[in-house]
Amino acid sequence: MLNDERILATFLELVRIHGPSGRERAVADYVKTKLSEINPGIEISEDSAGIATGGDCGNIIARVPACGRDVPPLLFAAHMDTVPLSEPVRPAVENGIVRSAGATILGADDRSGVTVLLEGVRALREMELQHGPLELVFTVSEETELAGAKNLDFDSLKSTEGYVFDNSEPFRIVCGAPSKNAVTFKVLGRGGHAAAAQKAINPIVIAARGIAAMPVGAPYEDTTCSVGVIRAGTAVNVIPDVAEVFCEVRSHSEDRLREITKKVVSSVTDAISEAEQPESGGGEPPARVDVEVRRCYSSYRVREDEPALARARAAMKTLGLEPVTHVGQGAQDANVFNLHGVRSVALGAGAYRPHSEDEYLKVEELVQGVELFVALTQIA
Ligand SMILES: [Zn+2]
């Protein structure tokens, strides 16, 4: 039997620890201390991701030695960081739901996952269950485009099968996520006084025409395109020199990702070539645009017959849960693990509405997450 109260207590301790992306040191120290209390045989190391990402802490890798079973290792992961918080979290528990009492997020994304890994290994030990070797990975800077996982020391890992606890329902298996390109435009026009607007080349107008021509929304069922930020101008009577536009494209298909990214780029480059470019008299160059396309992460899709998905299904069934597979439109560390050959799915432990002040945790599902961790280690 699992100790529900202690699982909740661990979660409450974890959400109280301040640890936004790049500042996970206190969370990492908590994790290390807990793990060595639970089982002094766990070998704990920290990689150099903190240096690569400019953070105060690296990814924590904990190796739990096998206990009575000679089987290949399994990887379990959760991220230690949260999105930025406006104030310290004061968790409040009512009717089996944990919310943040203040005007800030709760951070159940992903302290619920961290709780599952810690209480999962504790449960294995207390229940004296046999299991194979486990590799636990606590990443940093997941919320900043998976920066911690991207800098994880994969050579030190032996697992080829992984489970990332960073989702909601404990019966849901996230078996796919898209690739993402970030597209940034710097439209360089010719600024001036609004009273001499005919001599200027207004970069805001060019950017706006470009955006209007973009295939925003869902140009394909598995592809989305969006504009997130526009930066330009200082005052209404001043025409700026520069307008910046930040867009993104996500897709489960590399072909469609390429196609839509190309369309986004040409929307703005066409707007430049179609723009009226009055002679300045001073010989200033015509308007132009600097474009940067950056790959943020790559998609994954775990098939039905792969061990990670098969084991997740089997484990859920032993708990009486009816598994539901889901292909998401967001990314998790699983994107990076899959890219590096650790075939991984994402699983949930009761965290809902992440990144919002309405975020909450279902205690019952947090406990089910721990049960799921244990069950995954018990499937032959
Ligand atoms: Zn998360």
For the segment 130-162, what is each residue's pLDDT rounded down to a tens digit? 999 999 999 999 999 999 999 999 999 999 999
| Domain stop point among 297, 314, 344 | 297
Per-residue b or e along 211-227, where b marks 16 or more CB atoms closer than 10 Å to that residue's CB: bebbbbeebbebbbbeb
- Identify whether residues 337 and 365 lie together within a single domain: yes
- Identify whether residues 19 and 96 lie together within a single domain: yes
Of the CA atoms within 13 Å of residue 298, those in its CB half-sphere come to 10
| Domain stop point among 297, 322, 355 | 297
Separation of CA 101 and ligand 1 centre (Å): 21
Separation of CA 1 and ligand 1 centre (Å): 28
- In angstroms, rounded to a whole number, what is the distance separating the alpha carbons of residues 168 and 155? 30
**Residue 149 backbone class (left: φ over 0; alpha: ψ -120 to 50; beta: rest):** alpha
Structure confidence at residue 281 as a pLDDT band (50, 70, 90): low
pTM: 0.90
Separation of CA 113 and ligand 1 centre (Å): 8
- In angstroms, rounded to a whole number, what is the distance separating the alpha carbons of residues 294 and 183? 6
- 378 burial (CB, 10 Å; 0-12 / 13-18 / 19+) is middle
Separation of CA 84 and ligand 1 centre (Å): 13
Number of helices (H), then strands (E), belonging to the chain: the values are 10, 20
CATH number at residue 66: 3.40.630.10
Q: Taking Cα atoms as reference points, which of 203, 10, 204, 212 lies closest to residue 112?
A: 10
| Domain stop point among 297, 312, 336 | 297
Residues ≥6 apart with Cβ < 8 Å to 256: 219, 220, 222, 223
For the segment 169-192, what is each residue's pLDDT rounded down to a tens digit? 999 999 999 999 999 999 999 999
CB 172 within 8 A of CB 248: no
pLDDT exceeds 80 at position 285? no
Other CB atoms within 10 Å distance of the CB of residue 131:
20
Separation of CA 356 and ligand 1 centre (Å): 12
- Identify whether residues 160 and 201 lie together within a single domain: no
Separation of CA 167 and ligand 1 centre (Å): 7
Separation of CA 79 and ligand 1 centre (Å): 7
Share of the chain above pLDDT 90, in %: 90
Q: Residue 1: what pLDDT?
A: 73
Separation of CA 139 and ligand 1 centre (Å): 10
Separation of CA 260 and ligand 1 centre (Å): 27
Separation of CA 131 and ligand 1 centre (Å): 27
Domain housing 215: 179-297
Separation of CA 379 and ligand 1 centre (Å): 26
Q: Taking Cα atoms as reference points, which of 87, 129, 121, 167 lies closest to residue 7?
A: 121
What's the one-letter identity of residue 129? L
CATH number at residue 187: 3.30.70.360
